[in-house]
Amino acid sequence: MKVLCGKQIHPYFQDTLEVSGYDFDFYTGTAPNNSEVDILVTMLSQTVDDSFLKKFPNLKMVLNYAVGFNNIDLDLCRSKGILVGNTPGVLTEATAHHTLLLMLAASRQLKLSVQNIYDNHWNDWEPMGFLGPDVNGKTLGIYGMGRIGFYFAALCHRAFSMKVIYHNRNESPNAGEINAQLVSFENLAVESDFISVHAPLTSENQYIFNKNFFSKMKPEAVFINTSRGGLVEHKDLCQVLSNKQIFAAGLDVTEPEPVASDYPLLGLDNCIITPHIASATFEARKAMAQCVVDNILEYLNSGNLKYPVF
């Protein structure tokens, strides 16, 4: 089978398939003949739509090197008989830990204080310099109480005695373990000291975090997003941060991705942005590669995927 990866991924992927007993040809970036490609391993930055799929007339499956799959036209793939798989369950800890990093960095003004050193402005200890809200005992609001959202909530509840509230389509079956309370979307804004976004992007929640939501947040609140940039209206976020209507934000995802150097949020001292790296640990990226391998081998053995989107 001929396998095309959008980008080079963890070597576990190719190393394992080469000794699997099946015959594979591997390509990265481009293939010499798209019509011969059987399997696409796609990145979130690749839009899998009609114009894209027309290049691969004999494609059998699209395997997204990610948990999310909002970059893929699922209905189109289904109509063409193309299977779609992803890498669920292996990014939970890494993403939650990065969310914690952003929450602490944003609340403690890490970006501004570090830049102060590089600008040679660290002249003395300032008793009122770079103050920010503590996390201990505060209210954490979670939007999207799935695997990652719950893991992060439990981490903060147990480490910092944070009260957890959340907004979700349905009540979380694990919420009782951390005394988390289901609240309305409006109350999530009103009551939270820290808000962390963990929901997938859909047509129903695109730009759900906008000026209407931000206007209800506390002035000392911190907003964190490690899910998808399209959930947030970034012009509105930029405005409330510029006007100090909320304290700070930490983002691992933006819209668009990547951003240009003149992206307005980059110029704000109270917004820290990382380049979509929440899953960037050696262990997580290897586990993602293993999911792709497992999907391919399961298909060859049974005609199905081990981790199917459908």
Q: Where are the alpha helices (DSSP H) in the chain?
A: 12-18, 50-53, 74-79, 92-107, 110-118, 147-160, 185-191, 211-214, 234-242, 282-302
Exactly one of 18, 177, 186, 257 is catalytic; name it.
257
Contact 64, 44 (CB under 8 A): yes
> What's the CA gap between 271 and 285, in Å, rounded?
27
b/e burial code for range 133-149 (CB count within 10 A of at least 16 → b): bebeebbbbbbbbbbbb
The CA-based diameter of the chain, rounded to the nearest angstrom, is 67
Contacts of residue 56, defined as CB under 8 A and 6 or more positions apart, other chains included, come to: 34, 35, 37, 40
> What's the CA gap between 140 and 164, in Å, rounded?
5
Q: Is 158 a catalytic residue?
A: no
Q: Is 276 a catalytic residue?
A: yes
Exactly one of 10, 147, 276, 285 is catalytic; name it.
276
What does the DSSP assignment read for 54-86? Answer: TT-TT--EEEESSS--TTB-HHHHHHTT-EEE-
First to last CA, the chain: 21
Exactly one of 98, 198, 228, 234 is catalytic; name it.
228
Neighbours of 52 (CB within 10 A): 17
SS3 content of the chain, % helix, strand, coil (to 5): 35, 15, 50
Contacts of residue 79, defined as CB under 8 A and 6 or more positions apart, other chains included, come to: none
Q: Is 169 a catalytic residue?
A: no
User: Which positions are annotated as active-site residues?
Assistant: 228, 257, 276
